[in-house]
Structure 1
Amino acid sequence: MKGGIKLTFGEKLQAGLEKTLSPIAAKLGSNKVLRSLSNGMIMTLPLTLGASLFMIIANFPVPAFTTWLTNIGVAAQLNAIAGGTLNILALFVSFTVAYSYTKELGGKPEIGGMFSLASFLIVAPQTIGEGKKAITGFAGSYLGSQGIFVGIIMGLIVALLYVKLSNVKKLTLKLPESVPPMIANSFAPLMVGILIFLVDFLIRLAFEFTSWGNIFDFINKVVAAPIRSVGGSVPAFILVYMLANLFFWFGLHPAPIQAVMGTISTSMLLSMVAQSQAHETLQYLTNYVVFDFVNNDATGSTLSLLAALLIFGRSKRYRSFSKIALIPNLFGINEPVVFGLPIMFNAILVIPFVFSTLFSGFIAWIAVKIGFITTLHATVAMSMPWTMPKFVISFFVYGWQGMVLRILIFVILIFIYLPFVKIMDNKELQTEVQVKE
């Protein structure tokens, strides 16, 4: 009861979640580390959103159009925009996180950011290939999605080291007053920088004597290795992708996990191609359908999140963001939502983001068990471009039943996200009202 009015189940759920999650979100929001992470990731939003639009054009899911772009020499130039932004996002993250954290700690943010960026490049492998075929250079995979977690770690550690060491007077070089301030300020953190680079050297040296070889492979392989042994059962697909969502919430990109599970799903498709040609029962139908629907669109089924914000949200910030991020998300580009909304380290959204996979995978499993999805075109599934919206892919792979199932899960997940969206939206709306006043 509230003021003599009986609350509905939805209102009770909303009140319970708000009572539980709001204090947690407030506490996390006051934490300097988490606030720096959030602010640092939001700073990359202009890059991720802007580049994603060009990326869609360059990889538009119409083969004739992309072939034409390639033939006239435009595709490579469009892809270069992603190559200088999304594909090296870890570089920017190492700077922006350190910048934000240094600012929180009271240091000079631009110096902390530069030290972090330098440290990130120092610990990264600086050769591509092995033996006599090795060439000097930075591998793009380490600078992009698979290096974001390392970028975050370096940003936090280097910022903390820089601020702490800068407060030690003996480590700060003081030049005569006759020296111009700009030059004096540039020389002041010289000893601090040497000590930070010494730490970078020790990190490189330590990993050089391990089987991983570098900190990047250590993180990616340690995460992916256990997944590889799990297999491709229905519970495994759901559990693994729930873990992948959780890792993404922490800032660890799910690309290594997706690569492992993608290999398993591809082997299933190859088996089903042969089974279809022999007019045999599709052995892995249930497993593959669950795999295909565990993320109904992008990781965490964030298209439903954006739809919930657009339909039910009232704050200008979230509505404006959702309008811009909707198109890239529809084409499978999820980084603007995860890093720009942000979902990462957002205490309110962690539950629906992780458990969306459980709901979508379970509904897909039911759809096969009750005979709603009875077959799939394996060769079509293998040939579809990654930027093709999943609603369209489902129609060609499963027929109209696949598209209906995709839409059904999309709508259900809107209401899964809704209670959490309302908490987040109301909080932002109050902030906007206070700013106006």
Structure 2
Amino acid sequence: MENGKGFFGKIEGLIGKTLVPIANKVDNQPHLTAVKKGMVVLTPVLLLGSMAAIFPSIPEFIQTSGVQNWFETYGYIFDLITKATLGLVGLYAVMGISYFLSEQYQLYTIGSVCLSLIGFLLVSLNVDENGNIVSTYLDSKGLFTGIFIALISVEIYRFFTKHKLVIKMPEGVPDFVSSSFELITPTAAIGVLFIIIRMITDSLTGGVLLPQVIMNVLAPAIGGMDSLWVIYLVLVLRLTFWFFGIHSAVLSTIISPIIVQYLSENISAKAAGEVLPHVLTGGGMSAYANFTGSGVTIGLVIAMILSKSKRYKKVGAVALLPSLFGINEPVLFGVPIILNPILMIPFIFGGSLVGLLPFVFMKLGFLNYPIFDPPYVPVFLEGFLVGFDWRSIIANGLQIILSVGLYWPFFKVLEKQELIREQHVEASKQSIISDEDEGLLGDLDF
């Protein structure tokens, strides 16, 4: 046992020297933090867009003349909502990312957002032969372009302010007027820069816009995220971070833009009556991969509730309700799972496999592809809302059974150790009580 602890201690030390510093730097890096926060801002946009794509399906289930007539007359509203949300998701991403990055730099936030939008629109918009604006790349196809341009535009603004290349108004001029004049020179620089970039892109590609060029370059990486093997590796990496006490959100900068794009493309395909292309979305990650919490720890909670150990029984009782809403911090820190060598294998590798199972069902056609990212709702309901498929309840039920079977033998090792400890504590208490009784009797004899 000591050798095992020594080996694990070496692994822990190695992680502490290598992975933890990198994770901390990633978590504190201003550009990555801005991207992470900017992706979170898209949550209500995606939620509203998902709902707009779902409602047109109502006449399929409620086949009455009133419902049919209403949707024939006002169904365009849902298409409008979809275009105003998912159709502009790249634009919203630019706004969110530029806002949070400029906030970290203590720049004029509204000005930074405007500068970024100018740069994004200059390289993303097109005009047809009738002079009408074509906004094809303002949706998820322009998402990665928007990320890059938001970061570049704010950095240009920061460079101009840092080196005093802005127009300064005299003291006494209101701040909002002074800040607006400061934007003149960086606006000109950004306008010239992105017009030149557009001209160069046009000449090299024969008229292909920058967002499409970036999509073509990133296509292998973006498409590869939807592979079951890649999803499993992502889950293993996320749980490895958690196991060593690092929040898995450090990976969201890389993962979030891709799953946002996947959800947007699924919803657009649903609205167009096409085959849905992706299994990986934020809703799927929450409802399936993180079912009852990272590592699908409901099996461990059930094992603790049934435990003979008083401590584990209490932890299980406390952890049950949060687990039903996908929150398992009481398990991660209460058992604990974090840095617990006995639970390393079931949590990281087993939890990833159990979390992957519903995605396998999707690929096999046994489960609907995701079209909705539901807000925090209880388990079972969340899985149903992701793809509006009652079979998700069966998939989640199977995950519970597998989770119990996965964690049970490992927990029994912990339980045995805890019962021995509790027996020692109880024996010590009895010994103290006996000593006190003997002392009391001695005083009476005296």
TM-score grouping bracket, smaller chain normalisation: 0.5 to 0.7
Higher relative contact order (CA 8 A, sep 6+): 1
Cα pair distance change 1:58/1:167, threshold 3 Å: same
Cα pair distance change 1:136/1:320, threshold 3 Å: farther
- Say what the alpha-carbon RMSD is for the aligned residues: 5.5
**Number of aligned positions between the proteins:** 322
2:221 maps to 1:223: no
Measure the CA separation in 1 of the matches of 2:110 and 2:405: 43
Give secondary structure in 2 for the equivalent of 1:84. Answer: helix
Structure-2 residue corresponding to 1:186: 180
Q: Is the 8 A contact 2:286 2:326 kept in 1?
A: no
Measure the CA separation in 2 of the matches of 1:320 and 1:358: 15
Select 2:37's aligned residue among 23, 36, 39: 39
Measure the CA separation in 1 of the matches of 2:131 and 2:405: 52
Measure the CA separation in 2 of the matches of 1:104 and 1:78: 37
Deviations 1:338-379 (Å, cap 9, x if unpaired)? xxxxxxxxxxxxx99xx76994389659x98xxxxxxx89xx
Q: Residues 73-88 of structure 1: matches in 2 within 5 Å?
A: 73-88=73-88
Paired letter, 1:360: L
Shift of 1:250: 5.8
Query: What runs of 5+ residues in structure 1 fail to find an aligned partner?
Result: 231-235, 270-290, 324-350, 369-375, 396-401, 417-437
2:145 maps to 1:150: yes
Measure the CA separation in 2 of the matches of 1:17 and 1:410: 34
Measure the CA separation in 1 of the matches of 2:15 and 2:87: 37
Deviations 1:190-235 (Å, cap 9, x if unpaired)? 112101111111221121123371111112223347999x9xxxxx
Paired letter, 1:95: M
Shift of 1:104: 1.4
2:167 maps to 1:161: no
Structure-2 residue corresponding to 1:198: 192
Paired letter, 2:257: G
2:220 maps to 1:214: no
Measure the CA separation in 1 of the matches of 2:200 and 2:50: 41
Structure-1 residue corresponding to 2:107: 107
Paired letter, 1:408: L
Give secondary structure in 2 for the equivalent of 1:158. Answer: helix
TM-score of the pair, normalised by structure 1: 0.55
Structure-1 residue corresponding to 2:127: 127
Flag the structure with larger Rg.
2
Q: Is the 8 A contact 1:391 1:407 kept in 2?
A: no
Select 1:408's aligned residue among 376, 398, 405: 398
Measure the CA separation in 2 of the matches of 1:364 and 1:167: 54
Q: Is the 8 A contact 2:358 2:395 kept in 1?
A: no
Shift of 1:322: 6.2
Q: Residues 239-318 of structure 1: matches in 2 within 5 Å?
A: 249=255, 251-252=257-258, 253-255=260-262, 295=280, 300=285, 302-305=287-290, 307-308=292-293
Cα pair distance change 1:359/1:184, threshold 3 Å: closer
Measure the CA separation in 2 of the matches of 1:414 and 1:148: 40
Give secondary structure in 2 for the equivalent of 1:85. Answer: helix
Cα pair distance change 1:191/1:124, threshold 3 Å: same
TM-score of the pair, normalised by structure 2: 0.54
Shift of 1:154: 1.0
Measure the CA separation in 2 of the matches of 1:414 and 1:87: 43
Measure the CA separation in 2 of the matches of 1:244 and 1:181: 47
More helix by share: 2
Paired letter, 1:127: V
